[in-house]
Structure 1
Amino acid sequence: MRLDGILFFPLTPFDGGGSVAEDVLAGHVADGVAHGAGAVFAACGTGEFHALDGAEHRRVVGTAVAAAAGRVPVFAGAGGPLPHAVACARAAAEAGADGVLLMPPYLVAAPEAGLVAYVREVAAATGLPLVVYQRDNARFTPAGAAELARIPTVTGFKDGLGDIELMQRIVPAVRAALGEQRAPAKDFTFFNGLPTAEVSVAAYAAVGARLYSSAAFCFVPEVALAFNRALADGDDALVRRLLTAFYIPLVQLRNEVPGYAVSLVKAGVRLRGRDVGGVRPPLQDPHPKHLAELEQLVSAGLETAGAAAR
């Protein structure tokens, strides 16, 4: 399955009682697809996968699949303890998802052979395409990434470490491993999975990872799309203006408090008029001072994107 365009990672709305608000989620996903998302990644990092139980995960993925209505692929998050990761992968297949984003196992530091075994067991639980997310305690060498790529249903590698030198070695190692197969090489995609990935998109593209996840698309799709089009058109001046007016200040604000990579996105969606509730502990909603700064950034980003369109 070949992915292209903006990768949309919808958040998970909660109602006043703290339950998943499926109707709000359906509207959020449908609007993202209508704005031109290339794929939907439901119940992943921005969607607070860490805070969902199994039943909630199934409801979130099922709602996203229904709202996307076959217009774009839907990937579902899985990860954590191996039995939970396997259950999430199976539930994703049952819900009609098109693939799985496999996040790190819970807490433990493990040898690379153990991490590869973890991926193999989740892959064996479903025939869905699987993208492996490298971050935190799930770190791979070029040889380990190549071994992952040889697993038949592993079709992508998403990096959230930000180690460009490592990725410069992983990409050719994976390509060489796939080229060694007797069968025609499968489609394999590398992703930039850093928070606010637009800031690092040029560095990742240079090593062969052109796709990126856009958290900003959740709350300022106009800005995210303008940035993505500017990249595609080679409009470096607009890319710089959007980075300066919106993305770099957003990173600075995001770094003020742990967890703001999710909390600010959810706050941004509320600022734009969709009642998605707050984040679940251990994350915390932004301080009023930071909310005011976010509102100013949203205005600046929209003005910059709007001026480019005029």
Structure 2
Amino acid sequence: MTTGLPHTPAPPFGRALGAMITPFTESGALDLDGAQRLADRLVTHGCDGLVLSGTTGESPTTSDTEKAELVRAVREAVGDGVPLVAGVTTADTRHSVDLALSAGKAGADGVLVAAPYYSRPPQDALEAHFREVADACGLPVMLYDVPGRTGVRIAPETMIRLAEHPGIVAVKDCSSDLLGVQKILARTRLAYYAGCDEQILALYAVGAAGYVSTVANVAPRRLRSILEAFDRGDTREAARLQLGALDLIEAMMATDLPGTVTAKALLTSLTLPSGPLRPPLLPATPETTSALRAAYDHLMTSPE
């Protein structure tokens, strides 16, 4: 008998989402062929859907045109049945609306919207920003609560009010506020996705929809297995799998380096589509890459 919680409503974008890197050519141009090959691999190996042009996708350094081209190329590669969520975060509400409209035309199924950065708007302004994007684009909206990058938290009370908007359906959570997340889960029908890989099982166990993962760029099947074990009622196995992935999660996500840097270093080591980073990001050192590869190899050779 399944002992896991019923995860209702049905996740709007699937359960296991990969926060895909954006491959570039050695000259620094957008590598659409590489993006298609990587997207196909991620979907084939365990991702229900993909988030494009998010933090891991180096969205601050890709142009509006490149963002739309990326969505079109990935849509062509994975077909119509795979949910694609396009990041449209900017510091300007009008710009985010324009990106959301463009993403819809390019084939996105939803948009990812974080709080505008730098200006640090108060909660009433945040609420107005998200409502304006949702009203204008007509696509399902996934809010992105990542105060460590934006400088401002989407407060639980604000999230609860925003949940009343019919177009705001999901949240990618990087708040590190388990109490606040549980309050929102208890009072809304928002589909919550763990945005921090170390919290995949913890949030799923209290009713989250799944995850949006940077580590999924290199280990999509391993992370999906955590959800599958929990769904079949084997919570001990789910915990074993979560803890088994901890060394790789820590190596990729708990250092001073952004996950984009560590993901691209590992993908390059695995001869998978990646390419260079765009400045101001710099590549990982050989020593860091070696440590990342050791953590990856250990996980891949351990029992699943």
**Bigger shift: residues 118-127 or 238-247:** 238-247
Query: Could you tell me how far apart the structure 1 residues matched to 2:61 and 2:115 are?
Result: 15
Whether the 8 Å CA contact 1:115–1:138 is kept in 2: the answer is: no
Whether the 8 Å CA contact 2:53–2:87 is kept in 1: the answer is: yes
Match for residue 76 of structure 1 among 82, 86, 91: 86
* Equivalence for 2:98: 87
Percent pairwise identity: 27
Cα gap change, 1:3/1:269 in structure 2, threshold over 3 Å: closer, same or farther? same
* Deviation at residue 125 of structure 1 after TM alignment: 2.0
* Deviation at residue 50 of structure 1 after TM alignment: 1.7
**Bigger shift: residues 165-174 or 128-137:** 165-174
* Equivalence for 1:7: 17
* Equivalence for 1:289: 287
* Deviation at residue 26 of structure 1 after TM alignment: 0.7
CA offsets 1:263-287 (integer angstroms, 9 cap, x no match):
1111111122114212222222212
Match for residue 280 of structure 1 among 278, 281, 295: 278
* Equivalence for 1:180: none
Query: Could you tell me how far apart the structure 2 residues matched to 1:234 and 1:301 are?
Result: 23
* Deviation at residue 8 of structure 1 after TM alignment: 1.7
* Superposition CA RMSD, Å: 2.0
Query: Could you tell me how far apart the structure 2 residues matched to 1:50 and 1:58 are?
Result: 14
Match for residue 162 of structure 1 among 162, 173, 176: 176
- Structure 1 residue matching 2:271: 3-state secondary structure: coil
How many residues align? The count is 290
Query: Could you tell me how far apart the structure 2 residues matched to 1:171 and 1:223 are?
Result: 26
* Equivalence for 1:114: 125
- Structure 2 residue matching 1:279: 3-state secondary structure: coil
CA offsets 1:127-159 (integer angstroms, 9 cap, x no match):
111111111134233331122111221111221
* Equivalence for 2:226: 227
2:51 is aligned with 1:53:
no
Whether the 8 Å CA contact 2:49–2:82 is kept in 1: the answer is: yes
- Give the AA of the match of 1:251: E
* Equivalence for 1:250: 249
**Bigger shift: residues 205-214 or 39-48:** 205-214
- Structure 2: tracts of 5 or more residues without a match: 1-10
Query: Could you tell me how far apart the structure 2 residues matched to 1:4 and 1:31 are?
Result: 17
CA offsets 1:58-96 (integer angstroms, 9 cap, x no match):
111111221121121111111112222111101111102
Query: Could you tell me how far apart the structure 1 residues matched to 2:251 and 2:31 are?
Result: 31
- Give the AA of the match of 1:225: R
Whether the 8 Å CA contact 1:89–1:126 is kept in 2: the answer is: yes
Cα gap change, 1:14/1:138 in structure 2, threshold over 3 Å: closer, same or farther? same
- Give the AA of the match of 2:215: A
- Give the AA of the match of 1:272: L
* Deviation at residue 230 of structure 1 after TM alignment: 2.9
Query: Could you tell me how far apart the structure 2 residues matched to 1:151 and 1:285 are?
Result: 41
* Deviation at residue 113 of structure 1 after TM alignment: 0.4
* Equivalence for 2:134: 123
Query: Could you tell me how far apart the structure 2 residues matched to 1:11 and 1:268 are?
Result: 11
* Deviation at residue 123 of structure 1 after TM alignment: 1.2
The aligned runs of 1:19-34 (5 Å cut-off) are 19-34=29-44
Query: Could you tell me how far apart the structure 2 residues matched to 1:203 and 1:263 are?
Result: 26
* Equivalence for 1:183: none
More RCO (CA 8 Å, sep 6+): 2
Cα gap change, 1:156/1:272 in structure 2, threshold over 3 Å: closer, same or farther? same
Whether the 8 Å CA contact 1:26–1:64 is kept in 2: the answer is: yes
- Give the AA of the match of 2:142: V
Cα gap change, 1:174/1:226 in structure 2, threshold over 3 Å: closer, same or farther? closer
Cα gap change, 1:151/1:225 in structure 2, threshold over 3 Å: closer, same or farther? closer
Match for residue 262 of structure 1 among 260, 285, 290: 260
Query: Could you tell me how far apart the structure 1 residues matched to 2:174 and 2:16 are?
Result: 17
Query: Could you tell me how far apart the structure 1 residues matched to 2:188 and 2:288 are?
Result: 41
- Structure 2 residue matching 1:125: 3-state secondary structure: helix
Whether the 8 Å CA contact 2:201–2:239 is kept in 1: the answer is: no
* Deviation at residue 262 of structure 1 after TM alignment: 1.5
* Equivalence for 2:6: none
* TM-score relative to the length of structure 2: 0.88
Query: Could you tell me how far apart the structure 2 residues matched to 1:270 and 1:108 are?
Result: 36
Whether the 8 Å CA contact 2:174–2:195 is kept in 1: the answer is: yes
Query: Could you tell me how far apart the structure 2 residues matched to 1:90 and 1:46 are?
Result: 22
Query: Could you tell me how far apart the structure 1 residues matched to 2:182 and 2:12 are?
Result: 22
